[in-house]
Amino acid sequence: MTKKHFLLLTLILFVLAACQPTTPTTPAAQPQTLTIMTHDSFSVSEELVRKFEAENNATLVFIQGGDAGSALNRLILTSVDTQTPEADVFYGLDNTFLSRALDQDLFEAYQPASLSAIPAEFKLDPTFKVVPIDYGDVCINYDKAWFAENNLELPASLQDLAKPEYSGLLVVENPATSSPGLAFMMATIAEFGETSWLEWWQAMKDNKVVVVSDWETAYYTNFSGSSGKGPQPMVVSYASSPAAELIYAETELSESPTASLVNPGMCWRQVEFAGILKNTPNRALAEKFIDFLLSKEFQEDVPMQMFVFPVLPEAILPEGFVLASQTPETVSSLDPALIAANRDIWVNDWTNLMLK
């Protein structure tokens, strides 16, 4: 009996091994390996990667180190005391963590020629140790059907959300453990100011705002507009999530079941950067990879892969993406230096107020 099982197991294993696409036979020169560390949401077309690999005789290895914050923390920790960094390039540093990364002196400056085509608003690092690649807006998504059915006006501002008619209708993520949660907290600080933002959160707490640990739970368990069909009709997510609902719908929909609240003061813009890590033995190849990230090809690949917007203005966006994504006219922002000095204190204060 047992022998049979193991034979079966071995057989399955062999069949599965046979399914593996055969690796190309040895090229003329051993390809150079470039390691890119990034966060879990990073993605890119296989076609583009293969093309880059073929053109540069390179092998790209991607390491996904958790969400944006975790990936950076991991990078900082592993770059201690080591001559060679864990990776050659880091992708996915956002503006809330920008100053922490720059303080730690993790990157080597590189100013690609193509950067001139990028609008100045994205170039937040004057030293060019990191360059902007994409951006996205963290906004509140709402369930269209729920609001229509309950005949409820949409909240026009963050202030509105504290009103009794919206009691218990919003789910947010814990900023200590979630990157959209942190971004939304930043939006509230930008909107209400450093001194009184916690008053709004206190009002929200009294108005039964629901707090969960991560985006997955908020979106799929609590939000009523997703296929999880949860109890809250509003969730902190991305302005591009409605586009994803449309593109990944089970049956073809004419419009997205969700939309974003994009009034002034309600959204936070996350700009994502990439940079070459200090002491990389593959500097030349790393430069080519940064050029590749800013190329029109990659920039046009960004929306469908990661549901964020390219920083390159001339990149053409796919139709479905344009249809359901809303872009807020004005977005909140804070001085990176102010964020650097206070981020941990803010998160601590928030945790003390909301979770204790």
Partner 1 sequence: MKRSGSLTWLLWLIPLVFLLFFFYQPLLAIFRQVFSERFNQGWQFFSWAQITRPLLFTLWQAFLSTLLTLIVGLPAAYLFARFEFAGRKWLHTLSLLPFILPTVVVATAFNTLIGPRGWLNLILMDLLNLSNPPVNLLNSLPAILLAHVFYNTSIIIRMVGNSLTRLNPHYDEAARVLNAKPWQAFREVSLPLLMPSILGASLLVFLFDFTSFGVVLMLGGPQYATVEVEIYTQAMSRFNLPMAGLLSMIQLVVTFLITLAQNRLKNPRFGKAVLSSEQKTRQQPVNMRQKIFVILMCLLLVVLFVSPILSLVSRSLVTFEAARGERGEFETGFTTRYYTELFQNRTGSIFYANPLAAIRNSLVYSVLTMLIATSLGLLSAYALSRSGKLTRWMEPFFMLPLGASAVILGLGFLITFNNPPWTSGRFPILIPIAHSLIALPFVVRTILPAIQGIPHSLREAARVMGAKPWKVIREIDLPILLRAVIVSLAFSFTISLGEFGASSFLANARTPTIPVTIFRYISQPGALNYGQALAMSTLLLLTSAAGSLLIEKIRLPGEELF
Would you say 118 or 198 has its CB closer to partner 1?
198
Nearer to partner 1, 15 or 113 (CB): 15
Q: How far is CA 185 from the centre of its chain?
A: 16
Cβ atoms of 64 and 71 within 8 Å: the answer is yes
How far apart are CB 254 and partner 1 at their closest, in Å? 12
Contact 141, 173 (CB under 8 A): no
Q: What is the nearest approach in angstroms of partner 1 to the Cβ of residue 97?
A: 10
Q: With respect to partner 1, which residue has the nearer C-beta, 214 or 291?
A: 214
- Smallest distance, partner 1 to C-beta of residue 70, A: 4
Our CB check for partner 1 shows the closer of 82 and 127 to be: 82
Name the helix (H) or strand (E) containing 297.
helix 296-306
> In the bound complex, what is the minimum distance in angstroms from residue 240's beta carbon to partner 1?
9
Q: How far is the CB of 310 from partner 1 (least distance, A)?
A: 15
Where does 144-294 show beta strands of DSSP type E? 170-173, 210-212, 234-238, 258-261, 268-277
DSSP per residue, 330-348: S-B---HHHHHHHHHHHHH
Residues 6+ apart with CB under 8 A from 172: 181, 184, 209, 210, 211, 212, 218, 235, 236
| Whole-angstrom distance, CA of residue 329 vs CA of residue 137 | 11
CA dihedral 128, 82, 95, 304 (to 10 degrees): 90
Considering the complex, state which of residue 116 and residue 151 has its C-beta at the smaller distance from partner 1: 151
Q: Which is nearer to partner 1, 47 or 194 (CB)?
A: 47
How far is it, in rounded angstroms, from Cα 100 to Cα 36? 19
The nearest distance, CB 160 to partner 1, in angstroms, is 23
In angstroms, give the least distance from the CB of 355 to partner 1: 6
- Distances from the Cα of 229 to the Cαs of 30, 218, 240, in angstroms? 51, 11, 19
Task: State the Cα–Cα distance between residues 205 and 199, nearest whole angstrom.
Answer: 10
Structure tokens at 169: 């209708």
Q: Which is nearer to partner 1, 5 or 164 (CB)?
A: 5
Residue 90 pairs in a beta bridge with: 37, 275
Q: Shortest gap between Cβ of 113 and partner 1 (angstroms)?
A: 26
Q: Which is nearer to partner 1, 1 or 120 (CB)?
A: 1
Distance between CA atoms of residues 250 and 144, nearest Å: 18
